[in-house]
Copies of this chain bind each other. A is one copy, B any other.
Amino acid sequence: MHALMQTFFDRLSTKVGLDETESAAIASCCSEVISVGADIEIIPQGSEPDRLHLLLEGWAYRYVLLPDGRRHISTLLLAGDFCDLDALRVKRLKFGVATLGACRIAGLSRTALHGVMERHPRVAQAFLSLAIAENEVLTRWNLSLGRQTAKERLAFLFCELVFRLLGSDHSDPESKIVFPINQSELGDVLGLSTVHVNRVLQDLRARKLIELCSDELRILDWKGLASLAYFAASYLSVDGENSPRPMAVF
């Protein structure tokens, strides 16, 4: 058992409320842990993987391509996220997964996980919780893409990422974080052109809301950025019981 892996199964089990037996059952489905470099396509769009991929370390993303080449990045994946939860119940994935920086990824056998879910009902419920949590994030991004301006979307993304990276530790949201994603990729996340991302970033910098240069981001004014974006930290909490306490926003 890989040590890094155990860490994340522990974290997973506290998030969705599993005991040690159940957590160990999931861990036993892990067939391998691989390391991959930056900008590598892990799972091509439309493939039929026989295992689920759990991101242990690094940054990755899910993307969808239109036949004419337009691309949208639907989710940024951080350490602890499943890359392809859908593979549990869907054979053919509608999205692809690729890395941003170097990553470490655990592979969990799909059929083994099915067996675990049959024997441990709580495990299936835990995965249900994860799917529902993804659902809420996607719903919030639908709102952002449909009804918020470019500036608000950028601000929202920064708040979300900082919260996901630091929120559960109750760290200072104005700490510096690594940020291995360029302006072209930001555009694909936010539904904007690279040029416009650049201009909005300059505006956010000029307003002293953020500091962003070469792979590092710092939010200078968390309250200001969060209220500009209408970011409510509670939107990332899975459950009433064992969710991280949200950062103060308004």
Binding site for B on A (CB under 8 A): 62, 64, 66-68, 70-72, 74-75, 85-86, 88-92, 94-95, 117-122, 124-125, 127-129, 131-132, 134-136, 138-143, 145-148, 188, 190-191, 230, 234-235, 238-240
Chain B neighbourhood of A64, CB < 8 A: 139-140, 142-143
Tell me, rounded to whole Å, the shortest Cβ–Cβ distance linking A186 to chain B. Answer: 12
**B136 engages A86 (CB within 8 Å):** yes
**Apart from the given pairs A90-B239, A138-B138, 20 other A-B contacts in the complex at a CB distance below 8 Å:** A64-B140, A66-B143, A66-B148, A71-B147, A72-B143, A72-B146, A72-B147, A74-B142, A86-B132, A88-B132, A89-B132, A89-B238, A92-B234, A94-B140, A121-B124, A124-B124, A127-B128, A128-B128, A135-B138, A146-B191
When the two chains form the complex, which single residue of B66, B134, B235 contacts A147, counting CB atoms closer than 8 Å? B66
Question: A235 to B64, alpha carbons, bound, how many Å?
Answer: 12
When the two chains form the complex, which single residue of B71, B91, B139, B188 contacts A94, counting CB atoms closer than 8 Å? B139
**B147 engages A191 (CB within 8 Å):** yes
When the two chains form the complex, which single residue of B66, B91, B132, B145 contacts A131, counting CB atoms closer than 8 Å? B132
Given A131-B131, A132-B85, A191-B147, CB of A240 within 8 Å of CB of B124: no
